[in-house]
C-alpha cells in the first residue's frame, strides 16, 4: 500500500498537536489536519493548569497517569521551548486547593489521604496545610478570614496555554510534520489494501493510520471508523483581571496569576449543552469565591469574561482506543489536555506506534462505558 503519510492526525488542538509532535520525533511522516476557526476549541480558552493533586480520585489509573504526566512536564517543556523557540511561561512551584472552613479542611485531609492510599507505591505528592502553615509557607499571601488552609500539590504548576499550543504546532512543523489548517474532515474511509483515505472539502489524502483527536468533533468522526465514544460538552466560564502586582505566588484551583500579572478567576462546570454564552450568575459565583480567598481582588478591574466547552467523557477519564472494526484507526480524547500534553507527546506517541507497551492505555478504553461488554 502506498500512502502519503504514516499517520494522519485529525484535530490540531491540545491533544492532536501534542501527539503529532511526539510522532514526528519518532520519525513518522505525519499530517495534522485542523478544522475551522468556528469549531469549539478548548485549547484556545482554557485555564492553563498543569495539575495532578486530587486528580483521579477513586480512579487510580488516571491518578497515576496525571502524576506521571506532571512529573514529565519540566523536561517536556524544556525541550519544546528549545525546539519551537517559544517560551511557555511554565512554572512548577506547587498548586493550592483552598478550603474555606475547618470542616472543608477536615474533609480535604481525608480525601488527600484516600487519594494517596490508592497508589501506595507512589511517594506522596500532596499535603494539607492549616492556615498557620500556609501563611508560613507563603508569607506574602493576604488571605481572606474564612480560609482555613489548603492542600498543596508539589508537582503542580501552570503554563500559558496559547503559547503551549503554538509551540506544539511550531515544533511539529520544524520536525518535518505537515500542518493543514481549515481542513475540516468530513469522511474517513478504510482502503481495501489497508490504510485510510481522509477527505475534507475539496481535499483528500491517504495515510497508513488515522488518529482522531478532534475534541468535541471526535464523536461524529469516530463513528465513521467503528469507535462509539460518548462525549459531551461541559461549559466552563472564566474571568480575567487587569494586570496586578504579585498577589498569588502559586496557582490554585480556580485562581491563578499569570506571568503578565493578570489574575484568572474560574471556572464554572455547567451542563448546558453546546452553549457558549457567558452569564452574570457565572461571574458572580466565581467572583464571590475568589474574594473569600483573596479579598485584595476587590480593587481589581475585570477586563474579560469568556466561556469554553470541556470535552467530557461520562466518567471524566481520558479515552485512548483502537478500532476493532477498522484496524489502524484510533481515538485520543481527554478533559485535561494541558496537564497531559507531556504524556501525549511522549509515552502515548510511543505506544501508538508500538515502540512502548500499550498496557498503560488498557484502563482508558471506552468499552468501560458499555456495561454489557464490560460484564
- Told to check if 302 binds ligand FAD by CB under 6 A, we report no
Q: Indicate which single residue of 290, 309, 321, 329 sits in contact with ligand FAD (rule: CB under 6 A).
A: 309
Report, in Å, the least distance between residue 262 CB and ligand FAD. Answer: 15
CB of 309 or CB of 321, closer to ligand FAD: 309
Q: What is the 3-state secondary structure (H, E, C) of the chain?
A: CCCCEEEEEECCCHHHHHHHHHHHHCCCCEEEECCCCCCCCHHHCCCCEECCCCCCCCCHHHHHHHHHHHHHHHHHHHHHHHHHCCCCCCECCCEEEEECCHHHHHHHHHHHHHHHHCCCCCCCCEEEEEHHHHHHHCCCCCCCCCCCEEEEECCCEECCHHHHHHHHHHHHHHCCCEEECCCCEEEEEECCCCCEEEEECCEEEEEEEEEECCHHHHHHHHHCCCCCCCCEEEEEEEEEEEECCCCCCCCECCEEECCCCEEEECCCCECCCCCCCCCHHHHHHHHHHHHHHCHHHHHCCEEEEEEEEEEECCCCCCEEEECCCCCCEEEEECCCCCCCHHHHHHHHHHHHCCCCCCHHHHHHCHHHHCHHHHC
Q: How many residues bind ligand FAD (CB under 6 A)?
A: 40
- Told to check if 130 binds ligand FAD by CB under 6 A, we report no
- Told to check if 16 binds ligand FAD by CB under 6 A, we report yes
CB of 252 or CB of 334, closer to ligand FAD: 334
Q: Which stretch binds ligand FAD (CB under 6 A): 10-18, 110-118, 134-142, 279-287?
A: 10-18
Q: Indicate which single residue of 5, 7, 9, 13 sits in contact with ligand FAD (rule: CB under 6 A).
A: 13
Q: Which of residues 183-212 bind ligand FAD (CB under 6 A)?
A: 184-185
Q: Indicate which single residue of 77, 214, 317, 329 sits in contact with ligand FAD (rule: CB under 6 A).
A: 214
Residues that bind ligand FAD (CB under 6 A): 10-16, 33-35, 39-43, 46-49, 184-185, 213-215, 217, 221, 236, 238, 267, 308-311, 333-339
Amino acid at each position: 500500500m502506498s500512502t502519503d503519510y504514516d499517520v494522519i492526525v485529525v484535530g490540531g488542538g491540545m491533544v492532536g498537536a501534542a501527539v503529532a509532535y511526539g510522532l514526528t520525533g519518532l520519525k513518522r511522516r505525519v499530517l495534522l489536519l485542523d478544522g475551522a476557526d468556528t469549531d469549539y476549541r478548548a485549547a484556545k480558552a482554557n485555564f492553563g493548569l498543569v495539575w495532578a493533586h486530587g486528580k483521579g480520585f477513586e480512579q487510580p489509573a488516571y491518578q497515576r497517569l496525571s502524576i506521571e504526566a506532571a512529573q514529565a512536564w519540566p523536561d517536556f517543556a524544556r525541550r519544546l521551548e528549545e525546539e519551537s523557540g517559544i517560551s511557555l511561561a511554565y512554572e512548577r512551584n506547587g498548586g493550592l486547593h483552598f478550603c474555606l472552613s475547618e470542616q472543608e479542611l477536615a474533609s480535604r485531609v481525608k480525601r488527600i489521604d484516600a487519594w494517596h492510599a490508592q497508589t501506595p507505591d507512589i511517594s506522596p505528592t500532596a499535603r494539607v496545610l492549616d492556615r498557620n502553615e500556609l501563611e508560613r509557607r507563603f508569607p506574602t499571601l493576604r488571605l481572606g478570614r474564612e480560609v482555613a488552609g489548603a492542600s498543596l500539590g508539589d508537582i503542580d504548576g501552570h503554563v500559558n496555554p496559547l503559547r503551549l499550543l503554538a509551540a506544539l504546532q511550531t515544533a511539529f512543523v520544524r520536525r518535518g510534520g505537515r500542518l493543514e489548517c481549515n481542513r475540516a474532515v468530513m469522511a474517513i474511509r478504510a482502503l481495501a489494501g489497508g490504510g485510510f483515505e481522509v477527505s475534507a472539502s475539496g481535499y483528500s489524502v491517504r495515510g497508513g493510520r488515522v488518529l482522531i483527536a478532534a475534541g468535541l468533533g471526535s464523536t461524529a468522526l469516530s463513528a465513521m471508523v467503528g469507535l462509539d465514544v460518548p462525549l459531551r460538552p461541559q461549559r466552563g466560564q472564566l474571568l480575567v483581571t487587569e494586570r496586578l502586582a504579585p498577589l498569588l505566588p502559586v496557582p490554585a484551583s480556580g485562581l491563578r496569576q499569570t506571568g503578565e500579572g493578570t489574575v484568572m478567576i474560574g471556572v464554572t462546570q455547567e451542563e448546558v449543552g453546546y452553549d457558549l454564552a457567558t452569564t452574570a450568575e457565572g461571574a458572580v459565583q466565581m467572583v464571590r469565591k475568589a474574594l473569600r480567598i483573596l479579598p485584595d481582588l476587590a480593587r481589581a478591574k475585570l477586563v474579560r469574561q469568556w466561556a469554553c466547552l470541556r470535552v467530557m467523557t461520562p466518567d471524566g477519564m481520558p479515552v485512548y482506543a483502537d478500532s476493532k472494526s477498522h484496524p489502524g484507526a484510533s481515538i485520543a480524547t481527554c478533559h485535561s489536555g494541558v496537564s497531559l500534553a507531556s504524556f501525549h507527546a511522549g509515552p502515548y506517541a510511543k505506544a501508538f506506534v508500538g515502540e512502548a507497551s500499550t498496557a498503560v492505555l488498557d484502563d482508558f478504553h471506552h468499552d468501560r462505558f458499555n456495561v454489557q461488554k464490560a460484564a
